[in-house]
């Protein structure tokens, strides 16, 4: 369902079959683990059984002696990094941290931390040999909890870590696990609270959760004797993976070629690299290509989930329902190395609303869990759970409809965020209106133990850099080469923008995702940026093609190119002359050969994405189990290029959010071992756990994109935990402030309320 379905476009807004579709329904598409090279070896990794320990000694001799073993590596085989910080496009990387996360140097900082690797003739030999590597550890106490890890006397992960305070005058913290403090202020918070008739202050906890992509990380590397390294892998960003690999190996970036294979999901988790440098060094040592694929338990234990968090949130509202002041304090688990998304969480927490007076303080804290990385709108879901729950409570206290409250206080064009930036045209209130007017919201919910909740969410969406090369073929089609790996149908959404601009059919564009030697620099597929930024690059490439085709037509007509122009899928010239794209393409060889358009995008900034969700659910008051009955999501997509894949992003994000809300969590024992590192016990929703997810595509075009595109990938994950918590409150009267709201936790709250 769509509210503002664009009719002004021919291609945009239609639903063509995706270009890579047939390969993917026939099993022909090649993903990272499907790579097979002549003479290829298979590698396995040794991982730490301890959450925190010093490595005293590693003896690989027994493993190396196993027949069929061709190479063994440890961190000693990776170059020293010094204390280099390297800019990676979407952020800076601390190289010693990046390198020792790939192979532990003197300490292991989480269970599953990679320690050594073996390449052998087959995977079974490699796995058996890995078991023969002897490591002597000095076991240290693990710090698993974000709040405890901040206390003085906590076990210290990095002896050299000092807090980077928001204000440089705050002095030296001494050895600590607190890597960084964030602080944002706007207006006069104390005055705002004193003007408030209702003030609610609550604390929230969220668990570590994983992106849960079905395809494990993989890399196949060949280090040629000429020094050229080729890596075939599943990655969200081939150029980022190339640079990370080159920096870790300390080789020139041009000596590494990354060939992006099809990728089986990422959601942020396949931006960092774990395997390519290891596979590459194994290849150098063995002289053979080496394939390294993670096991599922490795994916859980040793790749970057999104952090657990502790959040305190206070909001003051006047009797008429206007927010007067708000304050948030939050601490996020960075995992083994600094770098949680707490900074982004700080910027998101109040972003949906016009907050006249606000204060936000955040901390990035190291704990003995895997180094966290991006997961779909990193940081925003955590804080949406907190603020949207507090708002629901306030609405209940002052007796205002929660949709009305959001309309009254929602961010609009010109609203200044507490952290500084002012919004351009955005669609927050439009999404609230869409929910308010939806059949779902207007249908009363009946039945025992049932409740309805709504919540909103925000995500920035990024621009960054993209490149596209498009070549006109003489049969009237266009070959489009792009650097954005396609995780969810972006080949088609990019091809459609090129097709729209050239006035040809989407099916006449043939998109290819190229390796790092074959296309211009392109940032990651992440930040909800591809359809926006790579789309802009495709439009630029199409415009370049238009210019060249005008010249070709002018040549045919023997007229001044200035007298011709590209209109509606063809060139118009003087005296009513017109030649269509196809016809002109057929004459390319007569007019000077190939027509190639290049396009790049680098400066464009997105305006931000908002969504509002409505959920009905039923609680089993005797077991604490929640069934989702009905779910509607309204989201501002700017302009929906391919509505099916826009809906798909919305539906997929919602269901991930439902999993986060109800059951997903890293469950650790006291030694810091994850007890549920399988798909059996890390409980992602199955088909049988969710209903159909109804979608309302709201279209408030983003002025920064030629067709008004807003990224749609991330924001749908933000509201579900809060919407569900609000619905649970409505159903059974208890307010859940800890994620996941699993049956044991919910039942405990229900029983507590009954005995009161």
Partner 1 sequence: MHAFDYQAPTTLREALELLSKPQQSARPLAGGTDLIDQMRVGRLTPEVVIDIKKIAELNALRVDSGGLHLGAAVPCYRICSERAIIDDYSALVDSCRIIGGVQIQSRASLGGNLCNSGPAGDSIPSLIALQATCLIAGPQGTREVPVESFCTGPGKNVLRTGELLIELRMPRRAPHSGSHYRRMIPRNEMDIAVVGVGASVQLDATGKTIVAARLALGAVAPTPLYAESASQLLAGQPVSDALIAKAAQAAREIVKPISDMRGTAEYRVHVTGVLVQRALQAAIVRARGEACDYRPGH
Partner 2 sequence: MSRKRVVSATINGDLVEFLCEPRQTLLEVLRNVLELTGAKEGCSNGNCGACTVLMNGRPVVSCLVLAMEAEGAEIRTIEGVACGSHLDEVQQAFLQGAALQCGICTPGFIMQTEALLAENPQPSEDEIRFYLAGNLCRCTGYDKIVRAVQSAAAQRQQASHSTQATR
Contacts with partner 2, residue ranges (CB under 8 A): 15, 17-18, 20-22, 24-31, 33-34, 36, 123-124, 211-216, 262-267, 293, 295-296, 487-489, 642, 644-645, 647-649, 651-656, 678-680, 684-690, 692-693
> Residue 215 Cβ, how far from partner 2 at the closest point, in Å?
5
Q: Smaller CB distance to partner 1: residue 151 or 752?
A: 752
Q: How far is the CB of 63 from partner 1 (least distance, A)?
A: 15
Pick from partner 2, partner 1, none: which does 645 bind, CB < 5 to 8 A by kind?
partner 2
Element containing residue 549 per DSSP (H, E):
helix 535-557
Place of tokens 């060249």: 548
102 binds, among partner 1, partner 2, none (CB under 5 to 8 A by kind): none
Q: In 3-state terms, what secondary structure has residue 632?
A: strand
Closer CB to partner 1, 663 or 726, in the complex: 663
Torsion of CA 126, 128, 134, 140, to 10 degrees: 90
In terms of CB distance, is 51 or 604 closer to partner 1? 51
The dihedral over CA atoms of 604, 605, 606, 607, expressed in degrees to the nearest 10, equals: -130
Cβ 685 to partner 1, closest distance in Å? 7
Q: Which C-beta is closer to partner 2: that of 104 or that of 263?
A: 263
The smaller minimum CB distance to partner 2, of residues 230 and 525, is found at: 525
Non-local CB neighbours of 168 within 8 Å, separated by 6+ positions: none
747 binds, among partner 2, partner 1, none (CB under 5 to 8 A by kind): partner 1
Comparison of 254 and 754: residue with beta carbon closer to partner 1: 754
The least CB distance from residue 449 to partner 2, in Å, is 20
Minimum CB separation from partner 1 for residue 744, in Å? 4
CA 673 to chain centroid? 26
Q: What is the 3-state secondary structure (H, E, C) of 690-747?
A: CCCEEEEEECCCCCCCCCCCCCCCCHHHCCHHHHHHHHHHHHHCCCCCECCCCHHHHH
Tally of CA atoms within 13 A in the half-sphere of 166 that contains its CB: 13
Residue whose token pair is 């002004």: 8
Q: Closer to partner 2 by CB, 15 or 228: give it.
A: 15
Q: Pick from partner 1, partner 2, none: which does 264 bind, CB < 5 to 8 A by kind?
A: partner 2
Q: Alpha-carbon Rg of the chain, whole angstroms?
A: 27
Lookup result for tokens 């919407």: 723
Of 34 and 401, CB closest to partner 2:
34
CB of 339 to partner 2, least distance (A): 23
Tell me how far, at minimum, the Cβ of 730 lies from partner 1, in Å: 20
Q: How far is the CB of 625 from partner 1 (least distance, A)?
A: 7
151 binds, among partner 2, partner 1, none (CB under 5 to 8 A by kind): none
127 binds, among partner 2, partner 1, none (CB under 5 to 8 A by kind): partner 1
Taking the C-alpha atoms of residue 704 and residue 628, their distance in angstroms, rounded to an integer, is: 37
Q: How far out from the chain centre does Cα 709 lie?
A: 18
Question: Hey, what are 40's tokens?
Answer: 């290829």
Binding site for partner 1 (CB under 8 A): 124, 127-128, 622-625, 627, 662-663, 667, 675-676, 680-681, 683, 685-686, 688-689, 742-744, 747-748, 751
**Whole-number Å distance between alpha carbons of 488 and 698:** 20
Residue 413 to residue 699: CA distance in whole angstroms: 15
**Distance (Å, whole) CA 491 – CA 380:** 27
488 binds, among partner 1, partner 2, none (CB under 5 to 8 A by kind): partner 2
Contact 314, 349 (CB under 8 A): no
CB of residue 676 to partner 1, shortest distance in Å = 5
Decide: helix, strand or coil at residue 512: strand
Smallest CA-to-CA distance from 312 within 361, 365, 372 is with: 361
CA nearest neighbour of 304 among 214, 378, 371: 371
By beta-carbon proximity to partner 1, the closer residue of 116 and 674 is 674
């Amino acid at each position: 369902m769509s509210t503002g379905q664009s009719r002004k476009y021919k291609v945009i807004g239609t639903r063509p079959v995706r270009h890579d579709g047939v390969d993917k329904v026939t099993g022909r598409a090649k993903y990272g683990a499907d790579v097979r090279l002549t003479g290829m070896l298979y590698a396995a990794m040794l991982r730490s059984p301890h959450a925190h320990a010093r490595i005293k000694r590693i003896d690989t001799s027994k493993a190396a002696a196993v027949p069929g073993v061709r190479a063994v590596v440890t961190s000693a085989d990776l170059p020293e990094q010094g204390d280099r910080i390297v800019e990676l496009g979407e952020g800076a990387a601390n190289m010693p941290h990046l390198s020792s996360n790939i192979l532990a140097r003197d300490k292991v900082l989480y269970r599953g931390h990679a320690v050594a690797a073996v390449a052998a003739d087959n995977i079974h030999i490699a796995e058996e040999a890995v078991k023969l590597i002897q490591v002597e550890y000095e076991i240290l106490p693990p710090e698993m909890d974000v709040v405890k890890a901040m206390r003085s006397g906590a076990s210290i992960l990095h002896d050299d870590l000092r807090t980077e305070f928001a204000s440089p005058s705050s002095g030296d913290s001494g050895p600590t696990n607190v890597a960084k403090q964030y602080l944002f202020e706007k207006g006069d918070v104390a005055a705002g609270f004193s003007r408030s008739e209702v003030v609610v202050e609550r604390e929230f906890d969220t668990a570590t959760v994983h992106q849960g992509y079905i395809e494990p990380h993989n890399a196949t590397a060949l280090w040629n004797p000429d020094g050229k390294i080729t890596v075939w892998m599943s990655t969200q960003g081939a150029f980022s993976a190339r640079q990370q690999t080159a920096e870790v190996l300390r080789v020139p970036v041009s000596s590494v070629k990354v060939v992006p294979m099809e990728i089986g999901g990422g959601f942020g988790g396949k931006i960092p690299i774990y395997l390519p440098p290891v596979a590459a060094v194994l290849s150098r040592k063995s002289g053979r290509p080496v394939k390294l694929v993670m096991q599922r338990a490795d994916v859980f234990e040793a790749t970057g989930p999104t952090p657990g968090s502790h959040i305190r949130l206070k909001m003051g509202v006047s009797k008429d329902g206007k927010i007067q002041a708000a304050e948030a304090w939050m601490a996020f688990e960075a995992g083994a190395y600094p770098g949680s998304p707490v900074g982004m969480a700080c910027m998101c927490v109040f972003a949906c609303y016009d907050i006249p007076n606000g204060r936000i303080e955040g901390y990035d804290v190291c704990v003995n869990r895997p180094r966290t990385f991006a997961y779909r709108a990193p940081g925003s879901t955590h804080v949406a759970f907190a603020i949207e729950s507090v708002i629901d409570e306030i609405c209940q206290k002052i007796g205002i409809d929660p949709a009305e409250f959001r309309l009254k206080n929602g961010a609009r064009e010109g609203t200044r965020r507490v952290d500084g930036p002012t919004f351009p045209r955005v669609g927050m209130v439009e999404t609230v209106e869409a929910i308010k007017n939806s059949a779902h919201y207007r249908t009363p919910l009946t039945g025992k133990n049932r409740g309805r909740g709504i919540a909103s969410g925000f995500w920035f969406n990024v621009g960054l850099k993209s490149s596209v090369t498009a070549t006109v073929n003489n049969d009237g089609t266009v070959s489009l080469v792009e650097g954005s790996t396609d995780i969810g149908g972006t080949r088609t959404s990019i091809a459609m923008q090129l097709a729209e601009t050239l006035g040809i059919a989407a099916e006449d564009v043939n998109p290819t995702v190229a390796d790092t030697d074959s296309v211009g620099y392109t940032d990651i597929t992440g930040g909800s940026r591809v359809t926006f930024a790579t789309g802009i690059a495709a439009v630029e490439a199409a415009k370049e093609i238009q210019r060249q085709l005008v010249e070709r037509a002018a040549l045919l007509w023997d007229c001044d190119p200035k007298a011709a122009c590209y209109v509606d899928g063809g060139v118009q010239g003087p005296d009513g002359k017109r030649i269509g794209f196809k016809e002109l393409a057929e004459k390319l060889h007569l007019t000077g050969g190939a027509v190639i358009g290049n396009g790049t995008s680098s400066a464009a900034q997105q305006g931000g994405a908002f969504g509002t969700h409505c959920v009905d659910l039923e609680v089993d008051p005797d077991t604490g189990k929640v069934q989702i009955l009905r779910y509607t999501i309204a989201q501002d997509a700017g302009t929906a290029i391919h509505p099916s894949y826009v809906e798909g992003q919305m539906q997929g994000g919602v269901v991930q959010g439902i999993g986060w809300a109800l059951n997903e969590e890293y469950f650790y024992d006291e030694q810091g071992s994850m007890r549920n590192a399988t798909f059996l016990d890390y409980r992602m929703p199955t088909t049988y756990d969710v209903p159909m997810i109804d979608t309302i595509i709201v279209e408030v075009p983003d002025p920064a994109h030629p067709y008004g595109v807003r990224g749609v990938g991330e924001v749908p994950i933000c509201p579900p935990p809060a919407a569900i918590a609000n619905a649970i409150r409505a159903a059974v009267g208890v307010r859940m402030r800890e994620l996941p709201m699993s049956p044991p936790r919910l039942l405990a709250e229900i029983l507590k309320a009954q005995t009161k």
